[in-house]
Amino acid sequence: MHILDVIKRELLLVLKTNNYLKSIDSRLGNPNNSFTVINDVSWRVFSKELRQRVTGKVYWTEFYRYYRLKFLLFFYRMYIRLKQAFGYKASDDELQDFELESH
């Protein structure tokens, strides 16, 4: 079975766009930026358009998780900044997590 044969046609273009965005992001030195953007936008779509289709419980769980992720991202970033401020060097992975990578 060929995977790309069974998924919806339009998704192929979406996958292509995903790949381009990822490569542009990493070439411009901001490698995880599109995930941050997707997080916000997909939450907006979820809360505006999918809200009527899911049960209240699912909606509020997702609400909690979205803000939790944002909160965690914020604190993780603070933690890395603080670490650098006190002279500890953050590892490359951590730097890339938070787009602090320099040119």
Partner 1 sequence: MSFEEGIPVSHVKEMHAKGINLKKLSSLISETFVYMIYEKGFIHSDPHPGNMFVRKRNGAKSGDDIELVILDHGIYTTLPVETRLSYSKLWRGILSQDERMIRESSKELGADFYELFAAIIVNRTYDDIMKKDKVAATKSRLGEQKNSEEKDAIK
Q: Which long-range contacts (CB under 8 A, 24 or more apart) does 37-40 make?
A: 39/66, 39/69, 39/70
Q: Does 2 bind partner 1 (CB under 8 A)?
A: no
Q: Does 76 bind partner 1 (CB under 8 A)?
A: yes
Q: Does 59 bind partner 1 (CB under 8 A)?
A: no
Q: Does 23 bind partner 1 (CB under 8 A)?
A: yes
Cα three-residue angle 90-93-98, rounded to 5 degrees: 80
Which residue from 2, 10, 56, 85 is in contact with partner 1, where contact means CB under 8 A? 10
Nearest to 47, CA basis, from 36, 33, 34, 61: 61
Which residue from 2, 49, 55, 56 is in contact with partner 1, where contact means CB under 8 A? 49
Cα three-residue angle 23-92-85, rounded to 5 degrees: 125
> Can you give the binding site for partner 1, defined by CB under 8 A?
3, 6-8, 10-11, 13-18, 20-39, 41-46, 49-50, 53, 61-62, 65-66, 68-69, 72-73, 75-76, 93-94, 96-97, 99, 103
